[in-house]
Structure 1
Amino acid sequence: MTYITNKVDGRKLRTQRKKKITVNLREDIEKTIATSLTLSEVQELFIKDMENRRLREITIKYYHFVLEGFYKYIPQTTSIIDITADTVQEYIEYQIDKGLATHTIHTNIKGLRTFLYFAMKQGFLSRFSIKVPSPDKVPLDMYTVEEVQKLLVRPNLKECKFSTLMTWTAINIFAYTGCRARTLVNIKIEDIDFAGQVIHYRHTKNKKPHTVPSHYLYVMY
């Protein structure tokens, strides 16, 4: 504790002088905190942040999956401050040596970059740029016009199995509304308005409900 001496009415008085935390000291404290945090501890904060932002469970599971793969290369007990641009590059090379597909590597590094950028934003990690490797372009195996036409033909309801009808219904919803797969599998009976020929989407990527026209519904009504 530091004191300063002042004279008041000829008497010497000692008063306590409050120490100010300097910028350097504050930086040292932040570095100490960052050094003590492991990858798994930062991951907990990262997951909590996503939950607070109400990101979907499937999105959070994706980052869990990405980081579990990263921990096979480097222990989760590693200090976050030890991660550098070289670490990321070496991890890319590690995946290449293991024979992983370029699309898989692209997905893994994209997720890892989001995690590390979070750590940088929180001050746990020194800032550096991460370039996500581009996946090889693979030509899609497209359906022919004839194949699509066959898929859209209404099955005989008296003879077909339920799975056939279910598949036909899903294909038609895709074809006529262009919805996402996860939106489709979350459609409930009450979301379909046969009389009004519309479908209500309640499970969407941006979490905003949509109502879309579906003219094919009269066929099933």
Structure 2
Amino acid sequence: MARIKMKMNTSETTLNKAFKEFIISKTAEGLKEETIKSYNRHFITVRKYLDLELKFSELSRSDLEMMVVSMRKAGLAQNTISSYVRVMNVFLHWCSGEGYTDLTLPKVKDVETVKETYSDEELERLLRRPAADCSFCEYRSWVIINFLLNSGCRAATVRNIQNRDVSLADSRVIFRHTKNGKIQVIPLCSRMVNVLRGYMAVRGGEAEDYLFCDQYGGMLTHNALRLAIARYNRNRGVNKTGIHLFRHTFARKYLVDCGGNAFTLQKLLGHSTLAMTKRYCAIFDADIAKNFDSVSPLAQLYHPKETIKKKKKAS
């Protein structure tokens, strides 16, 4: 006979206690450290709008809905609230499996927003090669920005690349650390190969050392990378400092300026489905108006066709 697992007094457990158990459970499952940190950050904010010392026996759907209402009154953006609700529902789903509650929150629909990107003028400033006597940190930041515009990858992926992952001979790099956990092989353009060849000669290190390391050769922390890029950008007169903006910029330029297609972009960005890639296509529709005459069927119909002219015989 199958053994029946019983939980006693589950309704007397508080949300706070259950969340600690949830984190232990998800850590044991092998979720990435970034995901666990994200859950913790979300829950820290949620406690401003929901009493986490409530017992499940006291928790009602109204309490959860008032949490969302309070977030709206506090002026949180729609997409920010949507993110908190998603994480809360992941937690509540786990709680349901543990026998704590069957309550869930209705999904909050994301609002489509235009992704901010770097302008071509800003990119020109950022891609200007540093002076030969610059610091290693400045040189590394310049190489990282080149790399982000070559691949469109995430900051966490950049931090985890090792020397062994780069093959200059094959013009490719392997991403072992990705959001969906799948290994990616990404091509390197000839310009990127040359930039990396020079950088790797300076960086040195063993095969398993991190490619974009700190000044002591160790792994860059998320905060160190963020601050380094922010400092580099401001020194170049660029007020935008977001690392993820390079990903949006890569997508826009690939689709609009380079004439790339959504299916290849999906592979390059590592999206599991085409849904997110389609959002990029929709967001940047306005930019497609550029040079539209060259691809407009109507413009082509009105364009006079050249006839074949018979060449005159030489007299």
Of 198, 203, 209, 2:172 maps to: 198
Deviations 1:146-167 (A, max 9, x none): 44355445x1552544344223
Structure 1 spans left out of the alignment, 5+ residues: 1-25
Q: 1-side partners of 2:195 and 2:80: how far apart? A: 41
72 and 149 in structure 1: CA distance in 2 versus 1, 3 angstrom threshold: closer
TM-score, reference length from structure 2: 0.53
**Aligned counterpart, 1:139:** 114
219 and 69 in structure 1: CA distance in 2 versus 1, 3 angstrom threshold: closer
1:211 aligns with 2:148: no
Q: Which has the larger radius of gyration?
A: 1
Secondary structure, in 3 states, of the residue corresponding to 2:9?
helix
**Aligned counterpart, 1:36:** 12
CA-atom RMSD in angstroms: 2.6
TM-score, reference length from structure 1: 0.73
Q: Where does 1:7-26 land on structure 2 (aligned, <5 Å)? A: none
CA positional deviation for 1:136: 4.3
Q: Where does 1:128-207 land on structure 2 (aligned, <5 Å)? A: 128-153=103-128, 155-156=129-130, 158-207=132-181
**Aligned counterpart, 2:41:** 65
Q: Is the 1:197–1:218 contact (alpha carbons within 8 Å) kept by the matching residues of 2?
A: no
* Larger RCO (alpha carbons 8 Å, 6+ apart): 2
Q: 1-side partners of 2:48 and 2:144: how far apart? A: 39
1:74 aligns with 2:46: no
Secondary structure, in 3 states, of the residue corresponding to 1:73?
coil
124 and 131 in structure 1: CA distance in 2 versus 1, 3 angstrom threshold: same
168 and 104 in structure 1: CA distance in 2 versus 1, 3 angstrom threshold: same
1:97 aligns with 2:79: no
Q: Is the 2:49–2:71 contact (alpha carbons within 8 Å) kept by the matching residues of 1?
A: no
Secondary structure, in 3 states, of the residue corresponding to 1:211?
strand
Secondary structure, in 3 states, of the residue corresponding to 1:82?
coil
CA positional deviation for 1:202: 2.3
What amino acid maps onto 1:158 in structure 2?
A: A
143 and 64 in structure 1: CA distance in 2 versus 1, 3 angstrom threshold: closer
**Aligned counterpart, 2:89:** 113
Deviations 1:93-140 (A, max 9, x none): 1112222233322222221111111111222113x4422323444433
Q: 1-side partners of 2:114 and 2:179: how far apart? A: 26
172 and 75 in structure 1: CA distance in 2 versus 1, 3 angstrom threshold: same
Aligned length: 191
CA positional deviation for 1:91: 0.4
Greater per-residue strand proportion: 1
